[in-house]
Amino acid sequence: MSGNTVTQSDTQSATWSLARAARELELRRGEFDLAVHLGYVRTVLDEGGGGRRVTRVETDRVRSQEGFPEALRERVKAVGTTEGAALLGISTARFTRLARLGLVVPVKFYLNRYRAVVWLYLAEELHRFPADKQNAPLLRGRTPEGLRDQLEAGLDLRPRNWRGRHMGFLLRQTGGPWARAAVVASLLDPVQVAEVITDPYERACLNRFRPERPSHGAPDSPAAHLVSRIMTAEDPDEISWLRADLGQAVAEARETHPAPRPTQRAEPGVVPEPAGSSPAHSFPAHSSRARSSPVASRPVVPAPAAFAPAAPVSAAAAPVVSTAVASRPETATSEDLPAAGERGWPRGLVGWLRRRST
């Protein structure tokens, strides 16, 4: 068989990048990302570590569905407040009140040029909203008193509802216990995570699997800080729930696969000392052991006692001569030494040896 022949197994194992898969499915990138989050398009991990990809079999499955691509576009269509209010037949102010009360849940958001948060909602969910009999009174007449009091107190559940929905999106794409725990930790402030997970190696493992947050503007910019506030839990009951969920998720991950820790290795060439022994260099110079050995504190001069130094040295500063120096076969006498004023011969032991050999 020729090497250029594409087998059936190669076709099934072929994968495309997310951008290529979006073009194959005739979707804009935002629509494609929403289709992945909602589970309409399944992705797989890249074996080379390059993120997530879409198999060719998956794109063929989606393309073979009835009504493609219009039906898929309708399911992932997201609308803003104005269009959403038109779909429900109400004013934008009433639609905003319904969203703040958590009756309609946003699916995504973005920041406009004025750094204002624009919430988007699934058109398919808004079409089903009036069909519920419990929602019919909310579309006409005055808002119930209990809900009106909550709005006057400043209630706004849009960020919290989006966080809960976004966490569900991320959990559907995770494949391991540490990755699932990292999804929960990504919605908490780092201080809250450190209080729940006290082990630094486990926190490092969570940071390794932490999902990337959508970027809005440059880091440390006002837009980035605003997005960070939206993606971080603020309500006390929400924080308490996420802390409990994080502790349980880390406990399960710890049992399945403990967090990696550095191993202590002995340095090459270093022999460990036996327990209870104290090295000699551990004694300081002013200790009693150092003072009890005066010979060890003075340098030993390896020279014969018969030779006097070239310059007179006082008795107080004279070095201590070790008696362990081996005796030489011959001893120099005063006749063999050169005179003090004699020139031409080197002084000392080397000169004496040279004169004896001549």
The 10s digit of each residue's pLDDT in 149-179 is 999 999 999 999 999 999 999 999 887 899 9
- Number of helical (H) and strand (E) elements in the chain, helices listed first: 19, 6
Question: DSSP code of 107?
Answer: -
From CA 110, how far away is CA 118, in angstroms rounded? Answer: 5
Residue 64's region, left for phi above 0, alpha for psi from -120 to 50, else beta, is alpha
Percentage of the chain beyond pLDDT 70 is 70
Q: 103-127 pLDDT, tens per residue? A: 999 999 999 989 899 999 999 999 9
239 or 353, higher pLDDT: 239
- CB within 8 A of 253, min separation 6: which ones? 176, 177, 178, 180, 181, 205
pLDDT of residue 296: 44
281 or 22, higher pLDDT: 22
Q: How far is C-alpha 216 from the geometric centre of its chain's CA atoms?
A: 21
343 or 258, higher pLDDT: 258
The per-residue pLDDT of the chain, averaged, comes to 80
Q: Edge-to-edge strand order for the sheet containing 52-55?
A: 15-16, 52-55, 44-45
Query: What is the three-state SS of 282-319?
Result: HCCCCCHHHHCCHHHHCCCCCCCCCCCCCCCCCCCCCC
pLDDT at 283 over 50: no
Burial class (CB in 10 A: 0-12, 13-18, 19+), 116: exposed
From CA 245, how far away is CA 195, in angstroms rounded? Answer: 14
Query: In the chain, what's the furthest Cα-to-Cα distance?
Result: 135
Position 88 confidence tier, pLDDT thresholds 50, 70, 90: very high
From CA 30, how far away is CA 118, in angstroms rounded? Answer: 15
Alpha helices in 120-234 (DSSP H): 123-128, 136-139, 145-152, 158-173, 177-185, 190-196, 200-208, 222-230
pLDDT at 215 over 90: no
Claim: this prediction has a pTM higher than 0.85: no
pLDDT at 326 over 60: no
CA 45-71-132 angle, 5° bins? 105
pLDDT at 290 over 50: no
From CA 95, how far away is CA 120, in angstroms rounded? Answer: 12
Q: Strand pairing of 52-55 and 15-16?
A: antiparallel
3 state DSSP class of 79: strand
pLDDT at 201 over 70: yes
3 state DSSP class of 72: helix
pLDDT of residue 280: 45
pLDDT at 261 over 60: yes
